[in-house]
Structure 1
Amino acid sequence: MLELYQFELSHYSEKVRLILDYKELEYRKIEVTPGVGQLELFRLSGQRQVPVLKDGDTIVADSTEIALYLERRYPTKPTLPVDPKQRGLCLMMEEWADESIGLKGRKALIGALNKNQNFRTSILPNSTPDFFKTLVGAIPGDVLDMLGSGVGFGGDAVKAAHTGLKQDLEALCLILQESPYLVGDTPTLADLTVAGLSLILKFPQGSYLNIPAELQGKGIPGLADNSAYEPFFAWRDRLYAEFRKPLVATNSASGSPTSIEIE
């Protein structure tokens, strides 16, 4: 069976999970422990970042490389159009989403977590001890903002990311105004990438993730709750309802993060 080494709230991992579900492929999720698990992942794949896919003896790292590998290895329910122009647009939009929504979304999420103590603690895994949740929630937002400035996640960077995401969401709403999908009349890699990466902007409605139920449909203030972008998120949630398997139907390694085993 396919094995996906992941973080549950990684939007790049979610991109791959959505592709796997769309292609109706069975897989097992393996939650990587931050730190020691990432060192073991490096031994397996040559990098510490998730997602990483293991298919028998084949190891594939990076969400785009995984998507293209799955397209070659499991061509049923293709995600790349045959038409050359549509194929080019699909690949271009996939790359744009990775670099725009993916990176700016991460900065905007960190900014929202810094400002909102309740939001910060609510996304911690259910298994997190209460004392640790209290400790995380007690850290002043301005302290986190100051620390983030040194690594590109300060207030100015977050503000710029937030502004850029508004433009991205407006563009997506316009594209989807008279089209069921971003490229053509059937779902493509562009749709699955954009939908999966938007995970951290607003959590989808439904039990797709191991998060508290009250977080479903919630997300980054100013984006998730902005009525101007509701057409996009409604489209995204319809895509999930049709193609994403609910958590109870997914063969996954549940519970707290565990250390991975290297064969």
Structure 2
Amino acid sequence: MLELYQFEMSQFSEKVRLILDYKGLAYRKIEVTPGIGQLDLYRLSGQRQVPVLKDGDTVIADSTAIAMYLDRKYPDKPLIPTDPHQRAQCLLMEEWADESIGVKSRKVFYGALSHNPSYRTSVLPKDTPDFFKTVLGGVPAEVFEVLGIGFGCSADALKDARDSLKQDLEALSLILSDRPYLVTDSPCLADFAVAGVSLLLKFPEGSYLDLPDSLNGKGIPGLADSSMYQTFFDWRDRLYAEYRTPLTTTGTSDSQPTSIEIE
């Protein structure tokens, strides 16, 4: 069985999970513990970032490289259009999603966590010890703000990211106002990339993640709840309903991530 080394809350892990479910491929999720688990991941893949896919003796790092590998190895339900213009649009939109929406949404998500202790603890996995939740929830917002400056998440950077995301979401809503998918009449890599990296802006409706049920459909105020972007988020939830396997359903993937086990 395919093994996906991941973080449950990783946008790029979610992009790969969407693709695996779309293709109907059975896989096991292996949660990588930040720090020590990433050192083990380095021994497996030569780098420390998730996602990493292991297919027998083959190890692939990076969500785009994984997508290309899966399309070559498992060609049913192809991810890349054959028409040259549609192929170009798909590849450009996938890269834009990763490098634009992916980066900016992490910034605004960090801002939401730093200013809202209850939201900060609610996004932790369901089995997180209460003691750790209490400690994390008690960290003053000022500490997160100071740390954020070092990660490019200053107040000005957060405002710029939010404003830019509004433009991105408006553009996506306009594209999807009269078509079922972003590039063609069937889903492609661009759709799964955009849907995956938008994870932190608004959690999907339904039991797809190891998070409290109360977070279903919740997201960044001013973005997730704005009627201006309803077309996009409705489309994204439809994509999930059609292709993503819920945790509570016996499907192609293990419902809950296991601990990291690297040979």
Q: 1:253 to 1:217 in 2, by over 3 A?
A: closer
C-alpha separation in 2, matches of 1:216 and 1:261: 32
Partner residue in 2 for 1:187: 187
| Cα distance, 1:45–1:253 mapped onto 2, change above 3 Å | farther
Name the SS of the counterpart of 1:54 in structure 2: strand
CA deviations on 1:85-115 (whole Å, 9 max, x unpaired) are 0000000000000001111111110011001
Q: Alpha-carbon deviation of 1:253?
A: 7.0
Aligned to 1:258: 259
Does the CA contact (< 8 Å) of 2:53 and 2:61 recur in 1?
Answer: yes
Q: Structure 2 stretches of 5 or more lacking a match?
A: none
1:14-59, Cα deviation, whole Å (9 max, x unpaired): 0000000001111110011111110000000011110000001100
What is the identity, as a one-letter code, of the residue corresponding to 1:252?
Answer: D
**2:50 corresponds to:** 50
- CA-atom RMSD in angstroms: 1.2
- What's the CA shift string for 1:115-136, capped at 9, x where partnerless? 1111001011222221221111
The separation in 1 between residues aligned to 2:210 and 2:114, in whole angstroms, is 22
* Aligned counterparts of 2:76 and 2:158: Cα–Cα separation in 1: 40
Structure 1: which 4+ aligned runs deviate by more than 6 Å? none
Gaps in structure 1 of 5+ consecutive residues: none
State the alpha-carbon separation in 2 of the partners of residues 36 and 252 from structure 1. 23
Q: Cα deviations across residues 199-234 of structure 1 (Å, max 9, x unaligned)?
A: 111000011111000000001111111111111000
Q: How does 1:177-256 map to 2 (within 5 A)?
A: 177-248=177-248, 249-250=250-251, 251-252=253-254, 254=256
The CA deviation at 1:147 is 1.6
Amino acid at match of 1:102: G
The answer for the alignment partner of 1:155 in structure 2 is 155
Q: Is the 8 A contact 1:30 1:253 kept in 2?
A: no
* Distance across 1 between alignment mates of 2:260 and 2:210: 18
Q: How far off its partner does 1:260 sit? A: 2.3
SS of 1:199's equivalent in the other structure is coil
Matching residue of 1:120: 120
Task: Give the share of equivalent positions with the same residue, in percent.
Answer: 65
How far apart, in 2, do the equivalents of 1:77 and 1:147 lie? Answer: 43
User: Deviation per CA, 1:123-153, whole angstroms, max 9, x where unpaired?
Assistant: 1122222122111111111221112102212
Q: What's the TM-score once normalised by structure 1's chain length?
A: 0.96
8 Å contact 1:36–1:259 — kept in the other structure? no
1:135 correspondence with 2:135? yes
Counterpart Cα distance in 1 of 2:54 and 2:143: 39
Name the structure 2 match of 1:31.
31
- Per the alignment, residue 40 of structure 2 pairs with 40
* 1:30–1:252 contact (8 Å) kept in structure 2: no
The question of whether the paired residues in 1 share the 8 Å contact of 2:6 and 2:30 is answered with: yes
Match in the other structure for 1:171: 171
SS in 2 for 1:159: helix
Aligned residues: 261
